[in-house]
Chains A and B, each alone.
Chain A
Amino acid sequence: MKGSITQETWAKLMPQEGYDTFPKLMRRNHWQWGEKKVAYRYKDFGIWQELTWEDNYAHIKALAGGLASLGFEAGDRIAICGENAPEWFFGQLAAQSLGGISVGLYTDATPKELQYIIAHSEAKIVLVDDQEQVDKILSIREEIPKVETLIYWIAKGMWSYDDPWLIGFDDMMERGKEYDRDHPDFFDRSIDSQDGDNIAVLLYTSGTTGLPKGSMVTYNNLLSIFQGWDEALPWKEEDENLSFLPPAWIGEQIFTVAPNLAKSIVVNFIEKAETIQSDLREVGPKVILFGARQWEMVCSEIQSKMIDSPWWKKSVYHLFLPVGYRVARFQEEGQRIPWYWKALRFISYWCVFRALQDKIGLRKTRTPITAGAALSPDNLKLLRAIGVPIAQGYGATEVSGLDTVQMQKDYYRPEGSGEPFPGVEVRITDEDEILLGGVGVVHGYYKMPDETKKAFRSGYFHTGDGGYMDDKGELYIVDRVKDMQTLKNGDRFSPTYIEGRLKFSPYIKDCMVVGNNRESVVAIINMDYENTGRWAERNHVAYTSHQDLSQKKEVRELLGDIVGKVNGVLPEKQRVTRFVVLHKDFDPDEAELTRTRKLRRDFMEKRYDKLIQGLYDGQDKVEMETTVTYRDGRQATWKIDIFVQSLEG
């Protein structure tokens, strides 16, 4: 079943005959480029070292020989655990050349997690980077009896290890060269014997519930999704890329391995996780895929560096930043930018933003993408303002990675997640669940038929994410479907999504949105005492305590404006109609929050039953009787009036 994607599109995105697997593409690049083009670059002794396609081919062939000499055959699995390095991908490609499947492991996984995945995938060989990982694997050796050999590539500190189970990367390559002498042609023969329908990688995703599931991703999946990406946002041969995402994540496969092989771009490996910033600046990649966390890092670096810079730099920055923000607003609203703003932008680019982009290593970046989690609108706006055309994306391992992305450089929505790539089909069910279909849908979960049946139905992957698509074709992710609630009229809404939006305001510390099985959405808000207090002082609002300030009319109006703004981006039925500002903060000591500061909704709805009832009854104020439990166990009770604020529209 191929949904609404036509046979033609489907066929066009499929990889070319003869170049339909990673090893075949690797061999093609070796023929085509040989010594002439750099494939990988890594840092050693503080200097970038280059590996050409010739070098890569030699390494992979030697390692494949080594693996073959250990009895590694088509269909066998190799589990790889290490920081990004050429050896990681050599290991993957060598195994794939023999018809094997690579299983990525995360370096920060505990031995128990590693044990589960290694045992579940029935890996025959484990490839790791350094002593830390070797020790982890050694500690679970008894529980992974199927593993025959453990290979490591960073021998640092391991001179006293003489376990025959262990073998160094260079020793493997030596073995491989010997094997090659005895078995000429083994490499080409095994590469030719595979096709695009073979499984390339097994990628385990933990998911928030249950055991990790291994998605069986084929070469066709990866290459055709990449083809779709390439069609929408073309890659170029001279592009540079920085490899720092965990290779065990689908993102790195689709973002580094696929373009490196299909488009022969140069992959630069970061030196260490701590050196990303300087490596980024040295490499200046053209396309970047960061998680929200990393973008936050970039933004905070901009801000902290700005604070440390001399006054004249600071003043130029603050002079031109509003220009950036204004242009960003035009882009957000989808308007054409008037020529005089364009002129101002041009000036500010050459005065400040060019240098700034250079400092953070994003000057040459054509497509900066954020995916994985939502990036806060503030950071998005800052990045847009300094001229980084950041785009949000969305995808799932089960649909081979990045599936939708904001593709227009001059138009973006801070809440949106972009349009689907060619070859990706998005459908929204009646329950608002997002289904993904098309060329990227994988073969299912490895050895988990029940889970597969549940998640993959008639060619679509059920993401479990709730969301909607606007008339321009942009996808919006709201929440996990199971966390969404339903209003009495049947409309679904996500409390956490609305709460999250509200909490972006510095004046709102926490809040709870209520509305399950009721007529409309209402909210109980905790103001941020410090920030609101400061605002009150600036605006000459006198107050005595937290409780006093929270019930001031001015504060209600201030928060009313904020809620109104959030309402502006929500569908009409899901808007917050009325709210109260609570006289105190939600408190884990009173069991209102969990220790990890998540709301305990059921408990709270009971506890604030009277207040919520008051919100729906249309009262102006609710008399609350509160009991406070002190740390020493004593209790005190008092009565207060809590005022209700309504919002128009």
Chain B
Amino acid sequence: MAVDIRNVAKKREQRYSYGLTLLRDCIERDRDLPREEDIFKKVILKVEDITISFGGLTALSDVNLELKEGELLAIIGPNGAGKTTLLNVISGFYRPQKGNIYFQDKRITHYSSHRIAAMGICRTFQNIALYTGLSVIDNIIAGRHPHIKYNFLNGMLYFPWARREEARQRAIAEDIVDFLEMEHVRNTTVGMLSYGLRKRAELGRALALEPRILLLDEPMAGMNLDEKEDIARFIIDIHEFLRIPIVMIEHDMGVVMDIADRIAVLDFGVKIGDGTPEEISKNPKVVSAYLGSTGE
């Protein structure tokens, strides 16, 4: 799927804007959005010969993967194929026994998970990890933490500049709430929300971090068709408008085939396929892993 990367040069008044403009402004202030000539070309994340085993079980063996600028990469595979493990390795929750991970040509294999998050590799979890006692908006503001520009003391004494900063962060969070269409639950504690809305809130928090790369672990699991369509739309919008490269684990083949630029297939810890949706759907190895061997 070709990504429309037409630059949205015109700045509009907030009310008539394309949405997420405040967040985009914040991102643009910190770094340049990827240049057009780098899209689909420049490798931003590289996974090299990763092997990890738990006891006798090899979860991943010699997995190689590249994520390019502006790309939406889907990872698919049967249960227990090692998809989530791969995300956990990338985000620093697990240490690989062999192999390396490079982010923008920098080896990050042995970085701690919070350091990797601070570099801009943000993720959502399969079993949602939010502050259940806080409201949606507070959860999203919590995601802004690395970007808040006042220190503990300022915040405690609530100086005027701290207050201004707080208002700015709240505005960005509201921008995200507006984008994810969660106005009606902004003040509801996350624990009270349905599964689909919690997933959305988690996506919102990941966005608030101004991610350089977004890792999504089954963003549509357990949702009905309507909710899936909404999330798919949000993912496409994030990907196209903010030009954030995304790695997404998803089981719904319809969605994956529709929105992914490239698909990687894992089976028992081994990468058995990598290519465009069309190539993957014709790959005999993938077909046999999904539908069972044909006995050849």
Known pairs A46-B183, A271-B183, A275-B184; A156 contacts B14 (CB<8 A): no
Output the nearest chain B residue to A42 by Cβ-Cβ distance. Answer: B15
Known contacts A272-B184, A275-B183: does B18 contact A46 (CB below 8 Å)? no
B interface residues (Cβ-Cβ under 8 A, vs A): 4, 6, 8, 12-19, 137, 170-171, 174-175, 177-179, 181, 183-184, 186-187, 233, 237, 240-241
Could you say which of A158-166, A411-419, A633-641 contacts chain B? Answer: A158-166
**In whole Å, how far is B177's beta carbon from the nearest beta carbon of chain A?**
7
- Residue in contact with B6 in the complex, picked from A45, A155, A160, CB distance below 8 Å: A160
Determine whether the beta carbon of B171 is less than 8 Å from that of A158: no
**What is the distance, in angstroms, from B272's C-beta to the closest C-beta of chain A?**
34
Decide: B13 and A45 in contact? CB cutoff 8 A. no
Option from A154, A160, A170, A272 in Cβ contact (under 8 Å) with B183 = A272
- What are 23 pairs between A and B in contact, CB < 8 Å? A43-B183, A44-B14, A44-B15, A45-B171, A45-B178, A46-B174, A46-B177, A46-B186, A153-B16, A154-B16, A155-B16, A155-B19, A156-B178, A157-B241, A159-B4, A159-B6, A159-B241, A160-B6, A160-B240, A162-B6, A271-B183, A272-B181, A275-B183
- Contacts A45-B171, A45-B175, A160-B6 given; indicate if A155 touches B12 (C-beta within 8 A): yes
A416 to chain B, nearest CB (A): 35
Question: Among residues 261 to 295 in chain A, which have CB atoms less than 8 Å away from a CB atom of chain B?
Answer: 271-272, 274-275, 278
Whether B18 lies near A157 (C-beta < 8 A) is: yes
Query: Is A168 a contact of B8 with CB atoms below 8 Å?
Result: no
* B8 and A170 form a contact (CB under 8 A): no
Which residues of B lie under 8 Å from residue A159 when comparing CB positions?
4, 6, 8, 18, 240-241
Taking CB atoms and an 8 Å cut-off, the chain A residues in 118-165 that contact chain B are: 153-160, 162
Residue of B whose beta carbon sits closest to that of A46 = B174
User: Which chain A positions have C-beta within 8 A of B178?
Assistant: 45, 156
**Are A157 and B237 within 8 A (Cβ)?**
yes
Nearest CB in chain B to that of A172: its residue: B16
- Please determine whether A170 and B12 come into contact, CB atoms closer than 8 angstroms: yes
Nearest CB of chain A from residue B15's CB, rounded to whole Å: 6
Q: Given A44-B14, A160-B6, A170-B12, 10 more contacts at CB 8 Å?
A: A45-B178, A46-B137, A46-B183, A155-B17, A159-B241, A168-B12, A274-B183, A274-B184, A275-B183, A278-B184
Which residues of B have CB within 8 Å of A586? none
A169 within 8 A of B: yes
Residue contact A158 to B184, C-beta cutoff 8 Å: no
Known A45-B174, A46-B174, A46-B177: A168·B16 in contact at CB below 8 Å:
yes
Name the residue in A44, A155, A278 with the highest tally of chain B Cβ atoms < 10 Å from its Cβ: A155
With a cutoff of 8 Å between Cβ atoms, the chain A residues found around residue B8 in the complex are 159
A537 CB → nearest B CB, Å: 37
Inter-chain contacts of B18 with A (CB < 8 A)? 155-159
CB neighbours of B237 from chain A (8 A)? 157
Question: CB-CB < 8 A to A160: which residues of B?
Answer: 4, 6, 240
Cβ distance B24 to chain A, nearest Cβ, rounded Å: 10
> Looking at B17, B18, B187, which has the most chain A CB atoms within 10 Å of its CB?
B18
User: Quick one: which of B17, B170, B233 has the most chain A CB within 10 A?
Assistant: B17
Chain A's closest residue to B185 (CB) is A274
A275, B184: Cα distance in complex, Å: 5
* CA distance in complex: A46, B187 (Å): 10
Bound Cα distance A160, B12 (Å):
15
Distance in Å: Cβ of A50 to nearest Cβ of chain B: 13
* Complex CA–CA separation, A274 to B174 (angstroms): 16
Closest to A86 in B: B15
Taking the closest CB of chain B, its distance from the CB of A163, in whole angstroms, is 13
- Tell me, rounded to whole Å, the shortest Cβ–Cβ distance linking B230 to chain A: 11
Chain A residue contacts of B186, Cβ below 8 A = 46
**Whole-angstrom distance between the Cβ of B17 and the nearest chain A Cβ:** 6
The answer to whether A157 and B183 have CB atoms under 8 Å apart is: no
Top-9 shortest CB links A-B: A274-B184, A156-B19, A45-B174, A160-B4, A170-B16, A275-B184, A159-B8, A159-B18, A272-B183
B6: chain A residues within 8 A (beta carbon): 159-160, 162
B179 pairs with A156, CB closer than 8 A: yes
Q: Is the beta-carbon distance between A157 and B233 smaller than 8 angstroms?
A: yes
State A383–B16 Cα separation when bound (angstroms).
Answer: 40
> How far apart sit A43 and B184, CA to CA, in the bound complex (Å)?
12
Determine how close the nearest CB of chain A comes to the CB of B261; give it in whole angstroms: 16
Q: Within 8 Å CB of A157, what residues of B?
A: 18-19, 233, 237, 241
Quote the shortest CB–CB distance from A402 to chain B (angstroms).
Answer: 29
Closest to A274 in B: B184
Which of chain B's residues have a CB closer than 8 A to the CB of A170?
12-13, 16
CB-based nearest B residue for A44: B15
Closest chain B CB from A589 CB (angstroms): 29
B34 to chain A, nearest CB (A): 16
CA distance A3 to B153 in the complex (A): 77
- Complex alpha-carbon distance, A259 and B186, angstroms: 32
Q: Which residues of A contact B240 (CB under 8 A)?
A: 159-160
Residue of A nearest to B179 (CB): A156
Most chain B beta carbons < 10 A, residue from A153, A154, A162:
A154
Report the Cα distance A306→B183, complex, angstroms. 25
CB distance from A585 to the nearest CB of B (A): 31
- Chain B residues, CB < 8 A from A162: 6
CB atoms of A169 and B177 under 8 A apart: no
Smallest CB separation, B116 vs chain A (Å): 30
Q: How far is the CA of A278 from the CA of B19 in the complex (A)?
A: 23
A275 to B137, CA, bound (A): 15
Q: Please, how many angstroms separate the alpha-carbon atoms of A158 and B233 in the complex?
A: 12
With a cutoff of 8 Å between Cβ atoms, the chain B residues found around residue A275 in the complex are 183-184
Bound complex: CA A154 to CA B181 (Å): 13
* Chain B positions within 8 Å of A168 at CB level: 12, 16
CB A578 to nearest CB in B, in angstroms, measures: 49
Residues of B within 8 A of A271 (CB): 183-184
Instruction: Write the nearest CB–CB distance from B39 to chain A, whole angstroms.
Output: 15
